[in-house]
Amino acid sequence: MGWSGSIPLSWALPTTLCSSNFLFKQSCLPVPAFASHELHFPRSSINCSRSFWLSRTNKNSRICASQVKVEDTTEDETCELVNGVELSIGEGDDAINAYLCTAVKNNNGTGILLLSDVFGFEDSATRDFAYLVACNGYNVLVPDLFRGDPWTKERPKALFEEWRARQNPEHIAKDIFISADWMVNEFVAAGITKKLGIIGFCFGGGQVIDILAHDQGGCFGVGVSFYGTGISTSAAANIRVPVLFIAGDNDPLCPVNNLKDIGKEIEHQKIVVFQGRGHGFVHRPESPEEDEDAEKAFVIMRNWVHDGLAIET
């Protein structure tokens, strides 16, 4: 899964998306260096004038083997035109569906694997987040971790554990690495040797830790876990790359004390805790106050990923 080689300081390649590989050009912003410590943000009392997570395109339509241009409707100057496409990765029984968002302008030639929560890769909240990351120059792949069987809000909660038991951890890990391998091959075909970043929410946030522990820096260069569930402390001890944890102090599914224990096992890590916030507040904010904190969390994540991938050591 890993690769080596020098990383070019700049890219002068045109920005296109084709069937065989991607061609990128780089645009980087200076951000603070890594630090292993914990941050706490007070409960926000500021109301937002607009929602951070706007519905930008019809996520219910299926787009196969074609590009869809998504125009940004916000006033955020960092957002550029983004291409979105649904595709199939792998062959035969290993083939899985995925959603890919790529920045058209100022593409920095960096790939991000985004792992969804239990609602799957087609969920609008996850795709909106992928869009925003791509707006900042990245190429974001969201794989279908549940192979067409995500959890849905219409199902009785009493059936959740039964559904959860059907999700084979080994199969999910295999699909994640199939997705990462696809991205690596596309980047290598374009002459790019950067490592990937990996970001996850809830269920996906827990998977981030397991995947980084197995990978040990071979494929992924940085990780971000948003209120991860089912995180293994023992697995964290095998992580060799910087990891950012973002959570709320009012989240029973991701207790802050557990994150502190896990953080002790990782050499380069940061724990950012937002006061008064529960589960899912970053990609599913339900109030103007959560929306404000979601913006703060996004900037922290963006800087962390940039530091880990655009400025590699």
DSSP symbols for the chain: --------S------EE-SS-EE--------PPP--EEEEEPPP-PPPSS-SS---S-TTS--BSS-EEE---S--TT---EEEEEEEESSGGG-EEEEEEEESSS--S-EEEEE--TT-TT-HHHHHHHHHHHHTT-EEEEE-TTTT----TTS-GGGHHHHHHTS-HHHHHHHHHHHHHHHHHHHHHTT--PPEEEEEETHHHHHHHHHHHHHTTSSEEEEEEES-SS--HHHHTT--S-EEEEEETT-TTS-HHHHHHHHTT-SSEEEEEETT--TTTTTS--SHHHHHHHHHHHHHHHHHHHHHHTS--
pLDDT over 50 at 173, yes or no: yes
Position 42 in a domain: no
Q: How much is the pLDDT for 27?
A: 30
pLDDT at 182 over 90: yes
pLDDT at position 142 over 60 = yes
Query: Does a structural domain hold residue 96?
Result: yes
Q: Residue range 230-258: average pLDDT?
A: 92
In a domain, 218, yes or no: yes
What is the number of structural domains in the chain?
A: 1
Integer Cα distance of 244 and 36 in angstroms: 9
pTM over 0.85, yes/no: no
- CA dihedral (68, 152, 138, 110) in degrees, to 10, reads -120
Judged against a pLDDT cut of 90, whether residue 96 lies above it is answered with yes
How far, CA to CA in Å, does 84 sit from each of 69, 130, 186, 241, 298?
A: 6, 10, 16, 29, 20
* Mean local confidence (pLDDT), 281-290: 91
Q: What is the DSSP letter of 9?
A: S
> Per the domain annotation, does 159 fall within a domain?
yes
163 vs 12, higher pLDDT: 163
pLDDT for 144 beyond 70: yes
Tell me which residue range forms the domain holding 242. 78-311
Whether 152 is covered by a domain: the verdict is yes
Give the CATH number, domain containing residue 164.
3.40.50.1820
Q: How far apart are the first and last CA of the chain?
A: 19
pLDDT at 213 over 50: yes
Lowest mean pLDDT among 30-34, 98-102, 232-236, 246-250: 30-34
d(CA 31, CA 23): 25
44: in domain: no
Residue 60 in domain: no
Query: Residue 192 class from Cβ within 10 Å (0-12 exposed, 13-18 middle, 19+ buried)?
Result: buried
Taking phi first (over 0 means left), then psi (-120 to 50 degrees means alpha), and beta for anything else, what does residue 202 get? left
**Structural domain contains residue 66:** no
The pLDDT value recorded for residue 97 is 96
Backbone φ, ψ for residue 183 (5° rounding): -65, -40
In 3D space, the residue among 192, 267, 235 whose CA is nearest the CA of residue 6 turns out to be: 192
